[in-house]
Amino acid sequence: MRVLLIAPPGAGKGTQGTLIASHFGSLHIATGDLLREHVAHQTPLGLAVSQSLSRGELVSDDIVLQMVGDAMVRAKEAGRGYVLDGMPRTIGQARALYAIAAELGMLADVSLYLQVSDEEVVGRLLARALIEHRTDDTEDVIRRRLALYHEVTHPIVDWYRERGILVSVNAMRPAEDVGREILSVLEVMRAMIDHVPTDARRAIDLTGLDAAFGASKPG
């Protein structure tokens, strides 16, 4: 399976990405981990990242896309799928990533959208900040990050919906319930992907099926 993860901060991308990759034997491509790995090993890309950070600049899309593309090549050479966590974050990145994956013959089978309300995100991240002593994760900072997500990242959801590969899941439940639902639908899709033409695929919204996957019913 080749899966893209889209979600606001605090929705559980890392947890679900690790679960999916382990279940399907796919390569978990977490962009943050990739950046740290390249910097730690002082690769040419890692040196470019270090130089950008030392100048107080954001890491360029070109560098991150090259890292992700290299990871996709490794997945292809190993005969594995991938779970991409942390990218794309903009429409521009999504289109560039599509071009790279198309050239490699590694287009995503599914774009998995973890739906979580803003209030849930704020509560989760404030709780994590308290546990991990993150004094910089204040409510104002978190809400600014959410505003940026809605402005820049969320429009990608519609782009993948139009392509027919979007699967929406309610992530406002215990992680194990969310994971069970995700693996169930991906298993079904894995059996169908090779038999359904790309132009015949349709987005799937599972957010109304909570009770079937462990969500408690209202009293």
Q: State pLDDT tens for residues 80-101.
A: 999 999 899 899 999 999 999 9
Domain limits, the chain: 2-202
**What pTM did the predictor assign?**
0.85
Contact (Cβ atoms closer than 8 angstroms) between residue 179 and residue 16:
yes
Confidence of residue 203 (pLDDT cuts 50, 70, 90): confident
Q: Which amino acid is at 196?
A: V
- In 3-state terms the chain splits into helix, strand, coil percentages (rounded to 5) of 60, 10, 30
Chain segment 166-200, per-residue pLDDT in tens = 999 999 999 999 999 999 999 988 888 776 776 66
| CA 165 distance to own-chain centroid | 14
Rounded to the nearest 5°, which phi and psi values hold at 168? -100, 130
Q: Which pLDDT score, from 0 to 100, does residue 190 have?
A: 87
Q: Where are the beta strands (DSSP E) in 21-165?
A: 27-30, 82-85, 110-115
Please give the DSSP secondary-structure letter assigned to residue 218: P
Taking alpha carbons only, the member of 95, 72, 68, 60 closest to residue 26 is 72
Architecture of domain 2-202: 3-Layer(aba) Sandwich (3.40)
